[in-house]
Structure 1
Amino acid sequence: MRKLVIVVLVILSSIELVSGQGLGSPGTIKDDGRFAASTKQVNQFFRRFNAEESVDGNQRYYPEDEFYRNRELRGKFISILFDNETSGISSDLKTTFMREVLSETLPQYINFHREGWFSEVEATFNYRGKIEKATLFLKLQPEGLGYEWVIDKVVFPPFKDIFKKPEGSNKSFLHPLSHELGFMNLRKAFQETNLPESFTTTDFQPDYLTLFLYEMKRGNLKFDNIRDVKFHFFQINNWYFELNQFNRPGFNTGWLISNLVKLKPGDKESILRYIYDQK
């Protein structure tokens, strides 16, 4: 065990950002192995990513403090904020990301109260006597003098097959002269099909969150348990990363970056569609 600790400390002390890229800044950051401590809270992830706390986590740094957002400290913190055991994020991608985030001329930080990040919560609910999985997407919004988490979207498998709007010749429709009949043909339309969504606009999208809350208010849907929580970040220009919690032996634990993507035009929209649709 002692040998393992020594090896880890040697590795951490030898971490460099990019060959030939200096980290000139006031003071010297002492690396005595305390960087290896687990990032236990999401708020601590923010502070470490921005270098707004001490190495041991016992002191918060503020703008007037010497090491507040210190570039060298940030580099060492960010280097241990990746999942290095299961994610498979390449070293080159990490280096490129860190080079841009730690830019001497235009460094980038993450902000708890700024848009561009949200939570994905996997939970279970009792729906009409059966346990079903639901994915809730929550975001922060201003409330009074502070902020609150609110449910923004939901993915609930039992609802996915409720609305199946036909297309083309398979779709029922209302004749363009229906108005001359006072739309009396609506009676026949609704009686002869179980797909009333056929008569909606081309861009119709079901509001699953409203339906979800309606079923809850009717007593058909009851909360059971939380199974998993993760966070999605788009706050760094042209980058996306996913934050997950890892509970395992060793130093590479806690809240860590598990997925990292360099965004090209259109990638953000594609990733959001994937996240929300769970495809």
Structure 2
Amino acid sequence: MKTILTALYTVLAFHISVGQGLTRDMKDTEDQLRASTKQINQFFRRFNGEEDENGKRYYASDKRYRDPSLRKKYMPVLFDVQTSQIDPVQSKAFIKRITDKRGPAFLDFHRDHWFAEVNTIFKYKGRQLSGTLYMRLQAQGQGYEWIIDDVAFSQFKKWFDKDTTETKKFIHPMSHELGFMTLRKAFKNNEHAEQFTGRSFQPDFLTIFLYELNQGNLEFVSVKNMNFHFFAIDGYYFSLSNFNRPGYNSGWLISDLVPLANEDQKQQMLDYIYGKN
């Protein structure tokens, strides 16, 4: 009888231990899910100090709304600390800048200082084609809407390759005396008529994209991934990427942070993102 009771106690203790382990695992999982910044809107709220550690919303009437101490606590966990190469000194300076009591900085969802980079797959005349759509918010009526601001397709760039020195053609400077009949020779069997444009010529890929889409040559397939770019904080650029992984450092996190000394550096960063350089 004693042996049977001992066995029963052992089984019961085992189940209690397993149950406690499951409870701890569930609690840990719950904490991780709560810590994960699952939505872009949530990132805005956490960045601004408009949400507490448990996900409770704060409004302007709440005492802790945009509280500097809350923001200082939240901001470090809004950075990707596992894979990014962000300088810790820069991130601390950034947090100090946006939480400065004399002039704190916040993100406004509707201000035109951030945009989306959407990496997509299309079909072009039956074959797969990767391309990037740059999206931004625009006021519309009483609300807002996302619009396509620009596009980048490697295939489009190949169509307009001005670096064709081996086959360089030109329109003779005396062509006007011949009624520009030299155009016939220039355009014949020429795949790069952009040679005859000015040095500052840049093709409008958005117009080409819309034309091919309207003609039925381009067909949307899917979105591969997306990133968000922010220029809302004076003196800084940062990007937002999604990290789908276990642990507390997951969800939408700051993946890149770059100080910008002036407007020229800001324009250089924009040109880089849009593939203009």
Q: Distance in 1 between matches of 2:50 and 2:175?
A: 66
Which of 186-195 and 69-78 deviates more?
186-195
How far is the alpha carbon of 1:188 from its aligned partner? Answer: 2.4
Aligned pairs (5 A) from 1:38-187 = 38-59=36-57, 61-166=58-163, 171-187=168-184
> Does 2:205 match 1:208?
yes
**Superposed CA offset, 1:112-145 (max 9, x none):** 1111111001111111221121111101111111
How far is the alpha carbon of 1:91 from its aligned partner? Answer: 2.0
Q: Distance in 2 between matches of 1:125 and 1:152?
A: 18
Higher helix share: 2
How far is the alpha carbon of 1:167 from its aligned partner? Answer: 7.3
Question: Closer, same or farther in 2 for the Cα pair 1:224/1:132, shift >3 Å?
Answer: same
> Does 2:265 match 1:267?
yes
Which of 179-188 and 215-224 deviates more?
179-188
Q: Distance in 1 between matches of 2:125 and 2:142?
A: 39
Instruction: Show structure 2 runs of 5+ residues with no match.
Output: 1-20
Q: Distance in 1 between matches of 2:166 and 2:227?
A: 43
Q: Distance in 1 between matches of 2:88 and 2:227?
A: 23
Q: Distance in 2 between matches of 1:210 and 1:102?
A: 42
Q: Which residue of 1 aligns with 2:6?
A: none
Question: Closer, same or farther in 2 for the Cα pair 1:187/1:249, shift >3 Å?
Answer: same
**Superposed CA offset, 1:10-39 (max 9, x none):** xxxxxxxxxxxxxxxxxxxxxxx7996211
Question: Closer, same or farther in 2 for the Cα pair 1:251/1:278, shift >3 Å?
Answer: farther
Asked if 2 retains the 8 angstrom alpha-carbon contact of 1:127 and 1:220, the reply is: yes
How far is the alpha carbon of 1:54 from its aligned partner? Answer: 3.0
Count of aligned positions: 251
Q: Distance in 2 between matches of 1:97 and 1:249?
A: 27
Q: Distance in 1 between matches of 2:32 and 2:117?
A: 30
**Superposed CA offset, 1:188-207 (max 9, x none):** 22126332111212211111
Q: Distance in 2 between matches of 1:35 and 1:75?
A: 21
Asked if 2 retains the 8 angstrom alpha-carbon contact of 1:35 and 1:55, the reply is: no
The aligned amino acid for 1:271 is M
Aligned pairs (5 A) from 1:19-38 = 37-38=35-36
How far is the alpha carbon of 1:278 from its aligned partner? Answer: 8.3
How far is the alpha carbon of 1:58 from its aligned partner? Answer: 2.9
Q: Which residue of 1 aligns with 2:10?
A: none
Per the normalisation by structure 2, the TM-score is 0.82
Query: Which of residues 245, 249, 254 is equivalent to 1:248?
Result: 245
Question: Closer, same or farther in 2 for the Cα pair 1:35/1:218, shift >3 Å?
Answer: closer
How far is the alpha carbon of 1:173 from its aligned partner? Answer: 2.8
- Which structure has the larger Rg over C-alpha atoms? 2
How far is the alpha carbon of 1:168 from its aligned partner? Answer: 7.7
> Does 2:224 match 1:227?
yes
Identity of aligned residues (%): 47
What is the DSSP-based 3-state SS (H/G/I as helix, E as strand, rest coil) of the residue aligned with 2:238?
A: strand
**Superposed CA offset, 1:198-253 (max 9, x none):** 12122111111111121122222111111101101111111111101111111111
The aligned amino acid for 1:96 is A
What is the DSSP-based 3-state SS (H/G/I as helix, E as strand, rest coil) of the residue aligned with 1:122?
A: strand
Q: Distance in 2 between matches of 1:189 and 1:133?
A: 32
Q: Distance in 1 between matches of 2:271 and 2:89?
A: 27
Asked if 2 retains the 8 angstrom alpha-carbon contact of 1:41 and 1:255, the reply is: yes
Q: Distance in 2 between matches of 1:128 and 1:169?
A: 30
Which of 170-179 and 109-118 deviates more?
170-179
How far is the alpha carbon of 1:258 from its aligned partner? Answer: 0.8
How far is the alpha carbon of 1:57 from its aligned partner? Answer: 1.8
Per the normalisation by structure 1, the TM-score is 0.82
